[in-house]
DNA sequence: AACGCGGGGCT
DNA sequence: AGCCCAGCGTT
């Protein structure tokens, strides 16, 4: 067994050595052509581009994790306006930050943002550490973000590896190694760190991502305009659109949410999602989840006994909404109820006036519901 | 190594 | 309907 593992390791090593030597000319050309294009023809403009302040770089990169530039743009500008410095962010109330993040998704990013801001202020003198390894230890900062801060703010030669980079490298070098495995990540990352310009790491990192976003696009790459096409293996073999290779496919889970929208005069009951699940930290109505859609009989469910005791309430409407997430499809049914007695809220629930609803952050499906007039708001 | 985590735009 | 996006943390 040990022998076998040793042999696999040796073979992997040989493969890497082979790759390293194989494309020497191609590699040299890559960095040179990329930087030339960046200097002369890259006209992409974004509010965070060229910034050296590690705080704003961190903010931008965090917002942009798995998020399209166009989508994150306005969020970044609102955050910079509300929290111009790290110190401003560190003292902000969590509710305020979540409200600004509302609608952006992946809410753990938001939680980690605040956590790390406070960590930096209380344990690092309000300064970002100036090394890649130190940056990596901070919550919410992984290999990509650490490399971005290290290179853009501190001129350190650490290559960013994001979706753009993986695509550009896979195509340029014609690698069919899948990009979504540990093995693949290791190989592409090591290649990227070989290629990065030692003189201007920040410019190199910016350039490769801009090229991936504007020319070497996921679908319909603009090889005709690409400055690297003449050295690009995928272009040479006419398989740019077939790369990069991915192996993983995920199944989509279906979930059925039943929300109790209980109005008492102009107030409504809300609760905050706390479990390890989607939308943690956002607010919603009292919820019953089931394996299938349920009817009005749910109003007599034990979990809602405190809010709907006997006959002091009336059902006003039932309405359905859907929300498609990347890995889940949410079917939500809203039961709107009016009550004449103040509901007995549990410890985790709050009674909020409708004019105060804008103070809370909600999942998209709740926003949908409130906006449609069913909730008398937005 | 595999999985969970959003929301939106594009084909 | 499926894919992808300036990824990261947990198990």
Tokens of A207: 């350039």
Model pLDDT for residues A158-174, shown as the tens digit of each residue: 999 999 999 999 999 99
Instruction: Name the residue closest to B10, CA to C1'.
Output: A219
Angle at A86 between CA A82 and CA A90, to 5 degrees: 80
A302 CA → B4 C1’, Å? 30
Please report which confidence band the pLDDT of residue A368 belongs to, taking 50, 70 and 90 as the band edges: confident
Please report which confidence band the pLDDT of residue A212 belongs to, taking 50, 70 and 90 as the band edges: very high
Any strand C atom closer than 7 Å to A249 CB: yes
Which nucleotide is nearest to A140 if distance is taken from CA to C1'? C8
Please report which confidence band the pLDDT of residue A22 belongs to, taking 50, 70 and 90 as the band edges: low
Q: pLDDT value at position A256?
A: 86
Model pLDDT for residues A83-106, shown as the tens digit of each residue: 999 999 999 999 999 999 999 999
Q: pLDDT value at position A251?
A: 66
Q: pLDDT value at position A311?
A: 76
A62 CA → C8 C1’, Å? 10
Any strand C atom closer than 7 Å to A329 CB: no
Contact (Cβ atoms closer than 8 angstroms) between residue A160 and residue A148? yes
Residues in chain A: 378
Any strand C atom closer than 7 Å to A211 CB: no
| Average per-residue pLDDT for chain A | 90
Q: pLDDT value at position A116?
A: 98
Any strand B atom closer than 7 Å to A323 CB: yes
Any strand C atom closer than 7 Å to A213 CB: yes
Helix locations, chain A, DSSP H: 2-22, 24-40, 54-64, 69-82, 86-90, 94-101, 108-123, 132-136, 143-154, 163-172, 182-195, 201-214, 233-236, 364-371
Strands A349-353 and A287-290: unpaired
Q: pLDDT value at position A324?
A: 78
Model pLDDT for residues A68-87, shown as the tens digit of each residue: 999 999 999 999 999 999 99
Q: What share of chain A has pLDDT > 90, as a percent?
A: 71
Q: pLDDT value at position A2?
A: 37
A31 CA → C4 C1’, Å? 26
Model pLDDT for residues A27-81, shown as the tens digit of each residue: 999 999 999 999 999 999 999 999 999 999 999 999 999 999 999 999 999 999 9
- Sequential DSSP letters for A27-87: HHHHHHHHHHHHHHT-----TTTT---HHHHHHHHHHHTTS-HHHHHHHHHHHHHH--SHH
Any strand B atom closer than 7 Å to A327 CB: yes
Going from the N-terminus, what domains does chain A have, and what CATH number goes with each?
46-158 (1.10.340.30), 159-249 (1.10.1670.10), 253-371 (3.90.79.10)
Answer yes or no: is pLDDT of A313 > 50: yes
Please identify every residue of A annotated as catalytic: 61
Which nucleotide is nearest to A108 if distance is taken from CA to C1'? B5
Please report which confidence band the pLDDT of residue A378 belongs to, taking 50, 70 and 90 as the band edges: low
Which nucleotide is nearest to A326 if distance is taken from CA to C1'? B6
Q: What share of chain A has pLDDT > 70, as a percent?
A: 92
Contact (Cβ atoms closer than 8 angstroms) between residue A126 and residue A87? yes
Phi then psi dihedrals of residue A185, to 5 deg: -55, -45
């Amino acid at each position: 067994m040990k022998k076998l593992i040793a042999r696999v390791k040796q073979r992997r090593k040989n493969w890497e050595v082979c790759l390293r030597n194989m494309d020497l000319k191609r590699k040299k050309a890559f960095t040179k052509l990329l930087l030339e294009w960046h200097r002369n023809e890259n006209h992409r403009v974004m509010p965070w581009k060229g910034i050296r302040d590690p705080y704003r770089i961190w903010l931008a990169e965090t917002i942009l994790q798995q998020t399209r530039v166009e989508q994150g743009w306005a969020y970044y500008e609102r955050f910079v306006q509300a929290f111009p410095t790290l110190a401003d962010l560190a003292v902000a109330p969590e509710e305020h930050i979540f409200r600004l993040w509302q609608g952006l998704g992946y809410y753990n990013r938001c939680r980690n943002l605040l956590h790390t801001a406070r960590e930096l202020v209380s344990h690092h003198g309000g300064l970002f550490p100036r090394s890649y390894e130190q940056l990596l230890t901070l919550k919410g900062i992984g290999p990509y973000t650490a490399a971005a801060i290290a290179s853009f703010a501190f001129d350190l030669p650490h290559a960013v590896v994001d979706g753009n980079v993986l695509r550009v490298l896979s195509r340029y070098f014609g690698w069919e190694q899948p990009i979504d495995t540990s093995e693949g990540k290791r190989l592409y990352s090591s290649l990227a760190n070989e290629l990065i310009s030692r003189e201007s790491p920040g410019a190199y990192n910016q350039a490769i991502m801009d090229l991936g976003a504007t020319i070497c696009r996921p679908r319909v790459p603009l090889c005709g305009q690409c400055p690297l096409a003449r050295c690009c293996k995928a272009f040479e073999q006419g398989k740019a659109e077939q790369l990069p290779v991915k192996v993983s496919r995920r199944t989509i889970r279906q979930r059925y949410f039943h929300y109790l929208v209980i109005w008492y005069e102009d107030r409504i009951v809300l609760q905050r999602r706390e479990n390890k699940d989607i939308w943690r930290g956002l607010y919603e109505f009292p919820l019953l989840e089931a394996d299938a859609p349920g009817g009005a009989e749910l109003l007599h469910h034990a979990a809602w006994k405190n809010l709907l005791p006997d006959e002091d309430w009336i059902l006003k409407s039932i309405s359905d909404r859907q929300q498609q997430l990347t890995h889940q499809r949410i079917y939500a049914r809203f039961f709107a109820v009016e009550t004449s007695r103040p509901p007995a809220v549990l410890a985790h629930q709050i009674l909020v006036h409708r004019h105060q609803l804008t103070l809370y952050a909600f999942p998209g499906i709740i926003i949908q519901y409130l906006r449609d007039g069913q909730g008398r708001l937005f």
